[in-house]
Structure 1
Amino acid sequence: MELPIPNNVTTLWDAWQLRACIIFSLFLQAFLTCFAPCRQRCQSRFFIFFLWSAYLLADWVAAVAIGLITQSQTDLCESNGTSGDDLFAFWSSFPLLHLGGPDSITSFALEDNEFWLRHLFGLVLQVVGAAYSVYLTLPNNKLWLPTLLVFVVGVIKYGERTRALYLASFDRFGATILPKPDPGPDYEEVAAGTYVEIPTQGTDNLDVHDLDFYVDLVLDSVVDENKLLQLAYPFYESFKGIFVGLTPSVECRVSTRNTLMKLHDTVNFVVIGYELGFLYEALHIKVAVIRRKFSFVVRFICSSFFVVSYALLFFSVKKQQGSSNKFDIGLTYASLISAMVLDYVSFIQLISSDWPVVALKGINCSRKIFPAVTCHPRQRWSELMSQYYLISYCLKDDERPVWLYKLADLLHAREILNKIQILLFSSSVNVTLEKVTLILDCLREKFPTELSVNSEARSIHR
């Protein structure tokens, strides 16, 4: 039994379902590109919900669009076929671009990074689907060259996102922190007396002399943001292992503490924000992939492919003017222009991040290049800290219905119920300068300003 759907509704749905998916996917990409960077410094639940919804819908809509394009081309092949078939093949490359996502967000939560293998499998399937869509139009496709160029860019974008998820996964992120294995000295060299021990530096060791150099830089009357970034990056590199369960060495903790005690509380507050910014960008955006020199060359090639595709599309459509739907042609132009604009915006967001300043450390021209682009005052985190009302939770323990917990245990949903309780008794508070000063004052009282590594080791041994 079929549902009583009017014919005009069915006709309208068949005509606009593909075009609506393309338009909606473009809207989601523009929304994520513009507003995803705000997540780092905004904790509004209303905003986070919309961003999370757009993040999930972007992948779903792009995947559905590829299926609808293939279905539309199959219907055209069964009929006499039209010139719009070439446009549909050209559209099949744009969902790949959209599945690659903007550079400003690759994962919404840490658990998303663990699904990099699923995205790799999805990359293979979607590439095969888009390639099949192009294959259906051969050898009569007059737009095969611009379609091929955009297809290559889409594969690169989707591959970048998959690699970014892989590099931010728990196992890979932890493996990059561990030092290279040292097999130790050769027994024959030790017995012969020819072995000379070469000192090595651990990845989690901060050089005290380098930190003192940065301290001298930031103790000026006017604090330079470049100097603070160059000071915060060694701290991030040394302590990011805590995120994956690794403990920094004693030397690292002592040298870091001695350095932080020499800085003003305001400077410490800013440096902590920079460290959190580095961690966020390493885990949730494409910075680990794009910051390499080869990636900049690939980005330039992709941008060139967009320009060449637009020129080829313009001249090809101009020769066939009147044979295609004007709306489909306009939508094709809009999709290509939007891809170029979003790619340009993503590049501006990349060079406006903190990583280029760190990468050009020691280069004389960095102070002339980046003050206008990267060193504008901006907030790098929300300056909020989550807190849990343990006392309120305990006081209301007797008021909770017992049957609800029994039902949750029966359905094996006790963990879900506990997470809901955490959300109900949690809130965010501002991390003010007074709180940071209180913490640092407690550290100064507990530990002297100048601590030796041996004294710290003895205290840990006790």
Structure 2
Amino acid sequence: MVNWKKIWDAWDIRVVILFSLTLQIILIFFAPLRKRVSTYYLTLPLWCSYLLVEWAANFAVGHISDSNKGNGNKSAGDNKVEDVLVFWAAFLLVHLGGPDTISAFALEDNALWHRHFLGLMTQGGVVAYVFFATVSRNKLWIPAVLIYVSGVIKYGERIWALYLASLDRFRESIMKDPDPGPNYAKLMDEYSSKIAANLPTNIEMIHEYHGDLEAEKSVKSKTLSDVEIVEEAHYFFEKFKGLIVDLIFDFRQRNESRNFFLSLEAIDAFRVIEVELNFIYDVLFTKMIVANSYWGYVFRLICFLLEVAATILFYRWDKRGLPRWEIGVSYILLLGALILDFSSFLMLLFSDWTAVVLKKKGYVLPRLPMPFRWLSRRWAESVSQFNLINYCVHGRSKFMEFIYRWPGFSDVLNRIVYVKSQKFTAELRKFIYEEIKNKSLLAEDLDTAKEIWLAKGDWTLRANSSSHLLCYITESNFDEILLVWHIATELCYSNDSIVIDGDKAKSSPEKPPANYRKMSKILSDYMLYLLVMQPAMMSAVAGIGQIRYRDTCAEAEKFFRSRNIISSTNKDQGEQCCNNFFTCSCLNGTPNEEDGQVQNRRKKKHESACKAILGVNAAVRPVQVKGDRSKSALFDGRRLAKELEELGHGIDKWELISKVWVEMLSHAAINCKANNHCKQLSKGGQLVTLVWLLMTHFGLGNNFQIGEGHARAKLIVGK
């Protein structure tokens, strides 16, 4: 019988040290994908790798320390093995430093830089202890010291990056010096003396304008190149990085940003925003702010040279009597360190930060092929979708019901099965940009701007002569508004479905352009996704959103059972998606014939559910019938859908609905806390975050609270 314990005891250090190197490879090459991909299949392995690095170091260093205890008689081969183990311990310090592509997994990790500093002291101290305990007989002490110094530098860089990205330190670093203002006491003393001398005296405020506001930054009315996009994004990042910590800005910064973005096309405006968010991501979640500095380049050169020197010394070291595995593992660690350092240097060389530095120095940057183009995909470029009626109509299989009983798993399962995604199309991008731009043109002053970003859809209704619908905005909280308009949008969307006859698509000639209809559907499902799946981003405006959502789902399921749309047990296995959970098209995106039939049944059931709701006479407000015990918004949505269907022919129903949704998206974006926006940057990004930054650059943010410029008081004495 195989004695697995004995095998593990003999190989544990080798396995863990190679496992630690594997974690480094995963982190350096896959961590950058976090800002482009939003999926558990990437997040979970990265999270495990980030946490297991410390475990591997603690485990291996502890075992190496134990293996070097005792000074009994050892053979030459045993002494060399002992030397190699000490050599390996130094690599664990290098691994704790981590790659440049990730310093923090979550935003909260930056505040834990104290813990990592303590880790450097303890882990560095243990490795130093192991080294000094064997230095008198260690023939590999020079290479070990070289790797140890490299590890201390790398770990120190990580701690420094975490420290600089901690929100308190970040706020302190960008705040201006305190401004005591004019010398009030001195001025008033002079004023009093002039008055006492019976001289006609007056105090006037003289405004000081530092140059022409319109000329502070040149505005280009043309398509920007890739390099210009990066250059402009970095410029505005430096100007507006105070947004991360909720600092305020003055009217000059507002006018400069607003004038520039008003001159851009939608595609360039969003490209600048995307790159600017990438700069924020790099500052908060990577070592880039440390690496992209004079000392950063110096330390990288030093570490690389130390590792090269250690490799040469190990190669020349007499390895006779040393087992092949020890030799092989040592070379793997040395070559792995060199390759990872070289890869980090290439990533730094072709980063946006280097492009900005070279551009400032006057170098002409060529257009590089993929994958080194600066303007590769900057975020997930997808819009998550979650539909209330779809969720209520489609039951859960026995497997899913079992999973739902486990705390915390229901949310994960809902995200996997019920949350879909739509591509962020150029049409939707242009529509959102034009809506925000048009409102920015009206916001010449801060009061108007505030009125706009506080609007939840009522601004659009007034502008489109639809004041009779204002009761569905002004008389409700934002979470109720969102649910009511989501249900109404879904009912109208289903009622206006295109009828397909063979290969020819027919639609009513009275129907408005399909693009507004599609965009309304996408934005409606996205806003519900934020309310249900991202409640932290909606906490400032959602109120009792989770309670209202649950009550609405409960009433919807009860209603659908009463109309035999879903079975009484909600477990009609013939029409369930995910009966075979692991092979269902919900997960792998490649439906088979059986899944295709399920999808058709799901579609018909969804249509039946919408028709059933539309068939209810909702002439009386639900609150007058049921009271306010239940917070359900189901039939309030039915009432709104009826009024939307009865809009006059002069009003484009779907254009109105889509504009209302953009206004609600803008309201949610600007009222979401900045740190919640920043957290999403490491999870593929969110459309609401792009809208937040775009609105701010258009002067519609709530961070512009300084309405006047610099001024000085002047004492005017009459003759």
TM-score when scaled to structure 1? 0.81
Change (3 A) 1:17 1:199: farther
User: Which residue does the alignment assign to 1:258?
Assistant: 259
SS in 1 for 2:174: coil
- What does residue 439 of structure 1 align with? 432
- Cα pair distance change 1:245/1:187, threshold 3 Å: closer
> C-alpha distance in 2, partners of 1:44/1:354?
25
* Contact 1:226–1:375 (Cα < 8 Å) also in 2: no
Structure-1 residue corresponding to 2:282: 281
- 1:50-69 equivalences in 2 (<5 Å): 50-69=45-64
What does 1:76-225 correspond to in 2, within 5 Å? 77-78=71-72, 80=74, 82-186=79-183, 190=187, 208-213=214-219, 215=220, 219-220=222-223, 223-225=224-226
- For residues 267-416 of structure 1, the aligned pairs below 5 Å read 267-316=268-317, 320-365=318-363, 367-368=364-365, 371=368, 375=373, 377-386=375-384
Q: Which moved more, 1:233-242 or 1:128-137?
A: 233-242
Output the CA distance in 2 between the equivalents of 1:225 and 1:324. 54
Shift of 1:184: 3.1
Larger radius of gyration: 2
Describe the shift of the 1:82–1:443 C-alpha distance in structure 2 as closer, same or farther (beyond 3 A).
Answer: closer
Deviations 1:317-348 (A, max 9, x none): xxx33222221022111101110110010111
Tell me if 1:245 matches 2:246: yes
Aligned equivalents of 2:209, 2:186: Cα separation in 1: 19
Distance 1:250 1:427, change over 3 A: farther
Aligned-residue offset at 1:444: 3.4
The corresponding residue for 2:446 is: 456
User: 1:363: how far off?
Assistant: 1.9
Cα distance change on mapping 1:430 and 1:257 into 2, 3 Å: farther
Given that 2:359 and 2:365 are in contact with CA atoms closer than 8 Å, whether structure 1 keeps it comes out as no
Q: Using the alignment, how far apart are the partners of 1:198 and 1:155 within structure 2? A: 53
Query: Structure 1 residues 207 and 307 mapped into 2: Cα distance closer, same or farther (>3 Å)?
Result: farther
AA paired with 2:44?
A: F
Shift of 1:269: 1.9
Counterpart of 1:276 in structure 2: which amino acid? L
Deviation by residue 1:175-209 (Cα, 9 ceiling, x = unmatched): 2332222233456875679xxx99799xxxx9753
The letter of the residue matching 1:441 is E
Distance 1:119 1:422 in 2: 35
| Residue segments in structure 1 that go unaligned for 5+ positions in a row | 1-5, 400-407
Contact 2:292 2:354 in 1 (8 A): yes
Between the aligned partners of 2:335 and 2:409, the Cα distance in structure 1 is 47
2:69 alignment partner, SS class:
helix
The alpha carbon displacement at 1:233 in A equals: 1.6
Aligned partners of 2:190, 2:366: CA distance in 1, in Å? Answer: 55
Conserved 8 A contact 2:32-2:101: yes
Instruction: Determine helix, strand or coil for the equivalent of 1:70.
Output: helix
Query: Alignment partner for residue 20 of structure 2, among 11, 22, 25?
Result: 25
Match of residue 10 from structure 1: 5
1:321–1:60 distance in 2 versus 1, CA, 3 Å:
closer
Once residues 297 and 190 of structure 2 are traced to their aligned partners in structure 1, the CA distance between those partners, rounded to angstroms, is: 51
Letter in 1 for 2:218: D
Asked if 1 retains the 8 angstrom alpha-carbon contact of 2:94 and 2:152, the reply is yes
Superposition RMSD in Å? 3.5
> Percent same amino acid among aligned pairs?
34
d(CA) in 1 for partners of 2:214, 2:279: 21
| Counterpart Cα distance in 1 of 2:143 and 2:186 | 63
C-alpha distance in structure 2 between counterparts of 1:390 and 1:292, whole Å: 50
Report how many residues are paired: 426
Mean Cα displacement is larger for which, 237-246 or 59-68? 237-246
| Residue 288 to residue 387, structure 1, CA distance change in 2 (3 Å) | farther
CA distance in 2, matches of 1:113, 1:427: 32
Q: 1:168 to 1:426 in 2, by over 3 A?
A: farther
1:243 CA drift (Å): 2.8
**Distance in 2, Cα, partners of 1:120 & 1:192:** 55
Question: C-alpha separation between the residues in 2 aligned to 1:254 and 1:386?
Answer: 33
Distance 2:390 2:236 in 1: 36
Residues 340 and 271 (structure 1 numbering): CA distance in 2 closer, same or farther, change over 3 Å? same
Question: TM (normalized to structure 2)?
Answer: 0.54
Inter-CA distance 248–304: structure 2 relative to 1 (3 Å threshold):
same
Give how far 1:241 is off.
Answer: 2.7
Change (3 A) 1:44 1:248: same
Aligned counterparts of 1:91 and 1:199: Cα–Cα separation in 2:
64
- For the 8 Å contact 2:213–2:255, the answer to whether it is kept is no
Cα gap change, 1:251 to 1:172, in 2 (>3 Å): same
Paired with 2:449 and 2:36, the residues of 1 have a C-alpha distance of 38
Asked if structure 2 preserves the Cα contact closer than 8 Å seen for 1:149 and 1:305, the reply is: yes
| 1:332 aligned counterpart, secondary structure | helix
How far apart are 1:122 and its partner, in Å?
Answer: 0.9
Cα distance change of structure 1 residues 118 and 199 upon mapping to structure 2, 3 Å threshold: farther
- Contact 1:354/1:374, CA 8 A, preserved across alignment: no
Give the SS at the match of 1:360: helix
Gaps of 5+ in 2: 192-205, 397-404, 453-719
- Is 1:236–1:275's contact at 8 Å kept on the other side of the alignment? yes
